[in-house]
Each structure stands twice: as C-alpha cells, then as structure tokens.
Amino acid sequence: MMWVDDIADAGGAMYCFHLEATDDPISLIEKIHKRNMRAGVAISPDTPSTAISDEVGNAADMLLVMTVYPGRGGQKFIDKCVPKVAELRARFPEKDIEVDGGVGPKTIDVCAEAGSNVIVAGTAIFGADEPGAVIQQLKDTVNTAQARAKPQ
Ligand SMILES: O=C(CO)[C@H](O)[C@H](O)COP(=O)(O)O
C-alpha cells in the first residue's frame, strides 16, 4: 500500500507488486485501480502459479512471472519458470503476462510460446551492438506467437 499514492502522484500508469510482499493483494489492487493505474502482480521463481488465486488473477491487469530472482540485471534465465507462464496463460487468456529476467534472443522463443506478451529485457538490449534489432526481434517473436495462439 505504501507507495501507491506516490507513484500515482508522479504520473505512474502501472503499479506492479510482488504477491509475496502482501497479505491482502485484492485490497492493494483495488487501491491501485482507484488511483487509475493498471495493477500488476509479480511472482518470484520459487512461487508457484497457483499462488495467484482466480480472484487475484482476474482482478489484476498483468501477471509477471519473474524468470530470475529479483535484485539485479544480468542474471541467467531460469527455465523452470516457463511452465508457469503457460499455466497462467491457460487460466487468464486475456491478461497481459510479463516475463522479466535473463530474457533476450536466446530465451524469447520459449517465453513467447508459453504465452507471454510483455517482455522486460535489460542486458540483452543495452549490451547489444544493435539494440533496435534486438527489440524488433523480441517484438516479432511475441507477435508471431500471439497471432498463432489467437487467429484473427
Ligand atoms: O530488476 C530486474 C531483476 O530484479 C531486471 O529488470 C531484470 O533482471 C532485467 O534485466 P536483465 O534483462 O539484464 O536480466
């Protein structure tokens, strides 16, 4: 609850919090929504997707599957997190599902195939010779997988 008003006052459009950090995610989501921000719920690598209840998942706008232990950039992608993306995509077909941590050209395929449509990539972009090309590749991979999953 602590920083919701500060972030809203600063012009934030989205407030994402860790499920592990609160006993009352629904009240927090409601507070975020009252301040006209989108609400994201993140889970750490050791937290199962089932920790996100149907009530919380439906109330949130975005679900974030951390693919490294939160703390710093430049860590190795943790493959065991990928099935959680697929589980959440199956339960919440219309939600944004984000991955964050060690995501780049070598790991984007499994994320996109599992159903992630929001990508955080730090090292893969800022360490690249051609950052724009990496961004385009990540976007193309997600868009192709999304189009396959949801034919127009
Ligand atoms: O805050 C983070 C982890 O807590 C970073 O956002 C995340 O790790 C992205 O960086 P990189 O793509 O280098 O892994």
Whole-angstrom distance, CA of residue 38 vs CA of residue 114? 23
The pLDDT > 90 percentage for the chain reads 97
> Is the C-beta atom of 134 inside 6 A of ligand 1?
no
Residue % of the chain over a pLDDT of 70: 99
Question: How remote is the CA of residue 152 from the centroid of ligand 1, in Å?
Answer: 33
Q: Is the pLDDT confidence value at 152 over 80?
A: no
Domain span holding position 97: 4-149
Using one digit for the tens of pLDDT, what is the confidence trace for 130-151? 999 999 999 999 999 999 997 6
- Residue 107 Cα to ligand 1 midpoint, Å, equals 14
Q: State if pTM tops 0.90.
A: yes
By CB neighbour count within 10 A (0-12 exposed, 13-18 middle, 19+ buried), where does 83 fall? middle
Q: Write the residue with the smallest CA distance to atom 10 of ligand 1.
A: 73
**DSSP for residue 121:** -
pLDDT at 81 over 70: yes
Atom of ligand 1 nearest to the CA of 104: 12
Count of structural domains within the chain: 1
Asked whether 124 lines ligand 1 (CB < 6 A), one says yes
Round to whole Å and give the CA distance between 120 and 118.
7
Q: Cβ(114)–Cβ(131) under 8 Å?
A: no
Q: Work out the mean pLDDT of the chain and round it to a whole number.
A: 97
pLDDT in tens, 19-70: 999 999 999 999 999 999 999 999 999 999 999 999 999 999 999 999 999 9
Strand, helix or coil for residue 58: helix
Q: Is 61 in the pocket of ligand 1 (CB under 6 A)?
A: no
What are the tens digits of pLDDT across the range 110-134? 999 999 999 999 999 999 999 999 9
* CA nearest ligand 1 atom 5, residue: 73
DSSP bridge partners of 43: 65
b/e per residue 38-71 (b: at least 16 CB within 10 A): bbbbbbbeebebeebeeebbebbbbbbbbbbeee
Domain of 142, CATH number, reads 3.20.20.70
pLDDT exceeds cutoff 80 at 1: no
